[in-house]
Amino acid sequence: MTSRNLCFKLMKEDLKRRTWTLAITILGLLFSILVPVALKCSEYAERYGADPMAPVSSAQYRQIENIINLAGVNGFAIFILIILSLLWAASGFQYLHNSRKVDFYHSIPVKRHLLFFSRYANGILVPAAVYLLFQVCAAALILRSGIPAYELGDIWWRAWVMNMVYYSMLYTTAAAAMMLTGNLVVGILGTGVFYGYGPMAAALVFGYLDNWFETFYMTREANDLLYRIVQYSSPFANYMYAVTDLGEGLWNFPQAAGAAAVTAALAMAVYGLYRIRPSEAAGKAMAFPRTCMPIKVLLVIPAAEVFGMFFYLLRPTTVWLLFGTVCGAVLMHCVMEIIYHFDFRKLFAHRICLGLCTAFAVLLSLAGRYDWYGYDSWVPDAADVESASVQLGYGDDWVTYGSLEKRKDYNGEEYYGWDYGWGQTEYIFDHMQITDLYPVLELAENGAAAARRMRSQAEFYEESGYDGMRYVVQYRMTNGSRKTRTYVVVMDEAAQEALASVHDNLEYKTGIYPLLQQESGDLASVYFQQYNRSKPVKLDRDGMEHLLQAYQADLMEQTLESRRKELPLGTIQFRTVQMEEAMKWNQAEHPYEGLEDRCYYPVYPSFARTLEALEEAGISPKLMNEDIIESVAVYHYAVYGEDGTYDDSSDTAWNAVYKEPAMIRELAPALCSTAYLSMNPYYEIVRSGGTDVTVTMKQEADEAEPRVISCELDLNRISEETAETYQLHPVS
Amino acid sequence: MIETRNLTKRFGDITAVDHVSADIREGSVFGLIGTNGAGKSTFLRLLSGVLKPDEGSVTIDGQEVFEHTEVKSRFFYISDDQYFFSNATPEEMMIFYRTVYPRFDTRRFIHLMESFELNRRRKINTFSKGMRKQVSVICGVCAGTDYLFCDETFDGLDPVMRQAVKSIFIGDMEERNLTPIIASHNLRELEDICDHVGLLHKGGILLSRDLDDMKLNIHKLQCVLRPGMTAEDLTGLTIMKKEERGSLLTLTVRGKREEVEAALAASQPIFAELIPLSLEEIFISETEVVGYDIKKLVL
């Protein structure tokens, strides 16, 4: 008998032995694919089948989408496939865990590779055939229900290919776990380890860094690395990422081909394990005794660290850290020994290993706790740093970062959306290069000292209560590497001075405001917005270019000192050609994307060049006064007593609406638009406590209704008597 | 011929089979006897290619057994607790065996099942232990192999069935030169069927000899010596075991009958009688020599 014939016969015989697995496969896929599709299709045909030529409504489209998803990225079917991968691997190679079965199969005149391939192939081909059959039936049902073929497209077979590739990967991984173990339960546990160890270990490493190092900052590169480790260190995570891609309509063929190649390599490795697996391993926990120690160490140390950090979070003292670490190490070691020996009394076997693992875990925990690495206290020498990028915690988070990107809606039609990219920090890291390092390093020294104090007091910043500024700095070292740290800087006098130096640095501004990189050639239009009303600035090309240059110059010259004293009058937007085109494109179908609200910059009273250029264009920003204000409503949700206490119960709340021009005149200087306040976190305001203020603007001729603006009251700008008259109380 | 040379198998710290060299000729019944844990089952698992030797070799007619399908198709291994597919019937097992043993005799299988009054369409897991043994023996003899490796196969068979199985073995030996290799510690069972015996003890082989030679080379001697003489005065005898009850001396001695008789004659005892040893007595004597003292176990 040829090997091929024998292999087919063995496959047939194997399938006979595993009819229960086949039955579960059929039932699982039937109820996760075919039955839901049939149910939904019958409903669809009843509702919309009568007139297939009728225009597709949005409700109908949603139903079509739901039905097609059942034949495509069907979460329930994916869950069933994951279960099936374990089931087929376990049932296929479970005979290796039973000495009677091993004696039987290994004594018959059949080459072991045929035994392996007949079982391995069945574990893939049978579910693949059942799944394909149901996919074909589902596609046929969908078409028969009246859903057009172009709506179904090729998703059904793409989903089949994608799911089978990743099913095979999971199945082969589970088979590897079965090869490495000699007991079914241990094999299933091993599969769990293979599925989850990589992501969990990566998460633990980053958790360790984040937990112990006050100055650790998760950069985009580190985030990418974590993402990649999670994606590629676990077949399960890899599958989930692929499913997400497919769900978003991304048919990542190279990734699927890569997964197939990895599966093939893994299958060869599993076969290699099968070849060298001793028959006498049946019934033992681990098939290869040499793997016991490394696996144990790889589980004990992370478990010890997790326990240590957990107890430290509950009670941040060294004693509880050590308690958690030792507990974790001992517990996991004992569990592993019990599993290895199948004997509870062996829980303290290999005491030397237990001692070494515990000692190493304790060292790791203490090294983190006391920063023996010197991570937090490290501040580079200025000579080793080429340049630095900094993000100031009081920062300008109103700045729009990112760019326009083309997207597709559910109908497949293109529109423009705004891709915010990686946000401010990463923009700064990419664009800011401060070479005046003295203030940068001074703030870093301040932050490192604060971190040391925090560590010695075993407190968290959140609990410390002192006034601190979050400060992120990335150094470009002379050796080409980049080092990133985040600090909480104690804002003493020296720090304030260093902060002003950094803020006023032109390299800082160039790196934080994308507008300063904008070139006049790309300019399409300018809009000025004041008190929620945006108006185009009617200028010719030269005028627009002049306005842009004026604004850029004002922004560059603005100092921290001036920002502490003034708030914006309004905001200005320099629209690029691309923005204009995108807004026009979106106008009909996607106006909600709000592209017109992006990229506004504040115009301060001190921006003389800008204001002059605006004046030339006929725009005169107005200060808050009784001429433009209809009324001021002050809602006192808390009532202040003379001793500074306040009562914010609802029955003491009261509302006051001031419409009298005289009253408005008195209050107007204190009115600060919350939108403008948010654009200047450095502004030194004395807030009125327990009040919510809304200002109703006078309705202009071309407005359908008056604008209502949310404001705060700055008591610095009005006299104490006025504040008292209106029952306004300052809060720190 | 099956040859093992320095065959060694270790399970961790335990050496289950320790440098065993033995020859098993075709056409005879090889009995593999040994104490509990002597390594009989391990030896058979090595012979059948289930286990890979750590050292040494197992060959059949010069060809290695492990992962050699042609060689493996020449034997059928019946383990101590033979595995049958779950919920399988004897007929289904037959169909499977037919797939892997090309010379499987289906007609004979059906005939033997009927002869043993076993329903071939009944699930094996409903059979008694003895019936399952019968099914495994029937599968084994019908596989048409040259060798049949039986691990404690007679254990669980009633006396009638034991005789029936032995008859089948003898018939197959005559008809097609079958070589059964039977591992057992039930020595009485082997005594009347084995031609050759291998005695395993603590993983090593103590002896491997034809049963007749073995019986002819070890004897129980009961004698009454002349006054003043002791067993030590019996020169020319290799005494393995000595018991004294009054003046009656019972000795287990090694050597040919003629040599023992000649040595006795030279000592001129008052009374002397040579009694043949049963296989069980030979086993006990041989194992006692290497320190397996049955009296210690009994006490």
Sketch the domain layout of chain B as residue ranges.
2-211, 217-298
The stretches of A18-74 forming alpha helices (DSSP H) are: 19-29, 35-48, 58-71
Q: Is B48 close to A107, i.e. CB distance below 8 A?
A: yes
User: How do residues B91-116 score in pLDDT, each as one tens digit?
Assistant: 999 999 998 998 999 999 999 999 99
Helices A75-93 and A155-180, packing angle to 10 deg: 30
Establish if A501 belongs to a structural domain. Answer: yes
Q: Which residues of B touch A111 (CB under 8 A)?
A: 67, 69
Same domain, A508 and A529: no
Q: Is B12 close to A289, i.e. CB distance below 8 A?
A: yes
Say yes or no to pLDDT of A463 above 60. Answer: no
Least CA distance to B97: which residue of chain A?
Answer: A108
Q: Is A102 close to B50, i.e. CB distance below 8 A?
A: yes
Instruction: Assign B298 a pLDDT band (cuts: 50, 70, 90).
Output: very low
Instruction: Assign B297 a pLDDT band (cuts: 50, 70, 90).
Output: very low
Same fold, B2-211 and B217-298: no
Say yes or no to pLDDT of A54 above 80. Answer: no
Give the whole-angstrom CA distance, residue A716 versus residue A720: 9
Lowest mean pLDDT among A107-116, A416-425, A426-435, B78-87: A416-425
Q: Is B73 within 8 Å of chain A by CB?
A: yes
Q: Which pLDDT does position A362 carry in this prediction?
A: 97
Establish if A73 belongs to a structural domain. Answer: yes
Same domain, A234 and A306: no
Instruction: Assign B299 a pLDDT band (cuts: 50, 70, 90).
Output: very low
Final residue belonging to a domain, choices A322, A343, A369: A369
Q: Which pLDDT does position A163 carry in this prediction?
A: 93
Q: Is B67 close to A111, i.e. CB distance below 8 A?
A: yes
Distance from CA of B135 to the nearest CA of A (A): 14
Q: Note whether B148 and B178 are within 8 A (CB).
A: yes
Q: Is A107 close to B81, i.e. CB distance below 8 A?
A: no
Same domain, A98 and A132: yes
φ/ψ of residue B127, rounded to 5: -80, 155
Least CA distance to A103: which residue of chain B?
Answer: B50
Q: What is the mean pLDDT of residues A11-20?
A: 91
Q: Report A:273-292 residues touching B (Cβ under 8 A).
A: 278-280, 289
Q: Which residues of B touch A118 (CB under 8 A)?
A: none
* Mean confidence (pLDDT) of chain A: 90
Instruction: Assign A191 a pLDDT band (cuts: 50, 70, 90).
Output: very high
Q: Which residues of B touch A100 (CB under 8 A)?
A: 79, 81-83
Q: What is the mean pLDDT of residues A577-586?
A: 87
Q: Which pLDDT does position B242 carry in this prediction?
A: 84
pTM of structure: 0.81
Same domain, A398 and A268: no
Q: Report A:106-145 residues touching B (Cβ under 8 A).
A: 106-112
Q: Which pLDDT does position A466 carry in this prediction?
A: 56
Q: What is the mean pLDDT of residues A463-490?
A: 86
Q: Which residues of A touch B70 (CB under 8 A)?
A: 109
Distance from CA of A353 to the nearest CA of B (A): 19
Say yes or no to pLDDT of A22 above 90. Answer: yes
Tokens 């041989």 appear where? Answer: B286
Instruction: Assign A612 a pLDDT band (cuts: 50, 70, 90).
Output: very high
Say yes or no to pLDDT of A426 above 60. Answer: yes
Establish if A621 belongs to a structural domain. Answer: no
Count of alpha carbons within 13 angstroms of residue A174, beta-carbon side: 27
Q: Which residues of B touch A17 (CB under 8 A)?
A: 85-86
By Cβ distance, the residue of B50, B52, B81 closest to A107 is B50
Computed on alpha carbons and rounded to an integer, the radius of gyration of chain A in Å comes to 34
The stretches of B226-278 forming alpha helices (DSSP H) are: 257-267
Give the whole-angstrom CA distance, residue A589 versus residue B253: 110
Q: Which residues of A touch B73 (CB under 8 A)?
A: 109
Q: What is the mean pLDDT of residues B82-94?
A: 93
* Domain B217-298 CATH class label: alpha beta
Tokens read off for A261: 């190649």
Count of alpha carbons within 13 angstroms of residue A161, beta-carbon side: 15
Establish if A35 belongs to a structural domain. Answer: yes
The counts of H helices and E strands in chain B are 11, 14
Establish if A622 belongs to a structural domain. Answer: no
Q: Which residues of A touch B99 (CB under 8 A)?
A: 6, 9-10, 13
Q: Is B99 close to A9, i.e. CB distance below 8 A?
A: yes
Same domain, A419 and A552: no
Same domain, A386 and A471: yes
Residue A259: helix, strand or coil by DSSP?
Answer: helix
Q: Note whether A7 and A114 are within 8 A (CB).
A: yes
What is the separation of C-alpha B293 from the centre of its chain, rounded to a whole number of angstroms? 21
Same domain, A283 and A400: no
Q: B98: closest CA among A9, A14, A92?
A: A9
Same domain, A234 and A167: yes
Q: Is A100 within 8 Å of chain B by CB?
A: yes
Size of interface A-B (CB pairs under 8 A): 62
Element containing residue A366 per DSSP (H, E) = helix A351-369
Which of A105, A280, A284 is the best mutation test for B, with the most CBs of B within 10 A?
A: A280
Least CA distance to B136: which residue of chain A?
Answer: A104
Give the whole-angstrom CA distance, residue B173 versus residue B29: 9
Distance from CA of A17 to the nearest CA of B (A): 7
Establish if A261 belongs to a structural domain. Answer: yes
User: How do residues A363-408 score in pLDDT, each as one tens digit?
Assistant: 999 999 999 999 999 999 999 999 999 999 877 889 999 888 888 7
By Cβ distance, the residue of A6, A107, A278 closest to B49 is A107
Q: Which pLDDT does position A9 carry in this prediction?
A: 87
Give the whole-angstrom CA distance, residue A383 versus residue A238: 44
Which of A17, A100, A101, A108 is the best mutation test for B, with the most CBs of B within 10 A?
A: A108
Establish if A375 belongs to a structural domain. Answer: no
Same domain, A214 and A276: yes
Q: Report B:77-136 residues touching A (Cβ under 8 A).
A: 77, 79, 81-83, 85-86, 92, 96-97, 99-102
Q: Note whether A517 and A433 are within 8 A (CB).
A: no
By Cβ distance, the residue of B72, B73, B96 closest to A13 is B96
φ/ψ of residue B287, rounded to 5: -75, -30
Residues in contact with B3: Cβ distance below 8 Å, sequence separation at least 6, in sequence order: B22, B23, B24, B57, B58, B59, B60, B62
Distance from CA of B270 to the nearest CA of A (A): 58
Structurally, how many domains does chain A consist of?
Answer: 5
Q: Report A:4-43 residues touching B (Cβ under 8 A).
A: 6, 9-10, 13, 16-17
Q: Is A100 close to B79, i.e. CB distance below 8 A?
A: yes
By Cβ distance, the residue of A100, A109, A111 closest to B83 is A100
Q: Is A103 within 8 Å of chain B by CB?
A: yes
Q: Is B96 close to A110, i.e. CB distance below 8 A?
A: no
Q: Report A:240-279 residues touching B (Cβ under 8 A).
A: 278-279
Residues in contact with A338: Cβ distance below 8 Å, sequence separation at least 6, in sequence order: A344, A346, A347
Tokens read off for B85: 């597919």
Establish if A176 belongs to a structural domain. Answer: yes
User: How do residues B104-154 score in pLDDT, each as one tens digit?
Assistant: 999 999 999 999 999 999 999 999 988 999 999 999 999 999 999 999 888
User: How do residues A543-579 score in pLDDT, each as one tens digit?
Assistant: 999 999 999 999 999 999 999 999 999 999 999 998 8
Say yes or no to pLDDT of B37 above 50. Answer: yes
Q: What is the mean pLDDT of residues B191-206?
A: 80
Q: Report B:2-31 residues touching A (Cβ under 8 A).
A: 11-12
Tokens read off for A703: 């407005």
Same domain, A533 and A473: no
The CATH-assigned architecture of domain B2-211 is: 3-Layer(aba) Sandwich (3.40)
Cβ count within 10 A of residue A352: 7
Give the whole-angstrom CA distance, residue A361 versus residue A630: 68
Residue A695: helix, strand or coil by DSSP?
Answer: strand
Same domain, A550 and A461: no
Give the whole-angstrom CA distance, residue A624 versus residue A695: 10
Q: Which residues of A touch B11 (CB under 8 A)?
A: 280
Q: Which residues of B touch A23 (CB under 8 A)?
A: none
Say yes or no to pLDDT of B192 above 90. Answer: no
Tokens read off for A701: 């001729």
Say yes or no to pLDDT of A207 above 70. Answer: yes
φ/ψ of residue B184, rounded to 5: -165, 155
Amino acid making up residue B97? Y
Q: Which pLDDT does position A458 carry in this prediction?
A: 57
Say yes or no to pLDDT of A243 above 80. Answer: yes
User: How do residues A85-138 score in pLDDT, each as one tens digit?
Assistant: 999 999 999 999 999 999 999 999 999 999 999 999 999 999 999 999 999 999
Q: What is the mean pLDDT of residues A168-186?
A: 95
Q: Which residues of B touch A9 (CB under 8 A)?
A: 99
Tokens 């071309």 appear where? Answer: A702
User: How do residues A500-548 score in pLDDT, each as one tens digit?
Assistant: 999 999 999 999 999 998 888 889 999 999 998 899 999 898 999 999 9
Domain extent, residue A325, equals 291-369
Residues in contact with B266: Cβ distance below 8 Å, sequence separation at least 6, in sequence order: B235, B236
Q: A572: closest CA among A707, A697, A679?
A: A679
Q: What is the mean pLDDT of residues B208-217?
A: 77
Same domain, A575 and A718: no
Q: Is A278 close to B52, i.e. CB distance below 8 A?
A: yes
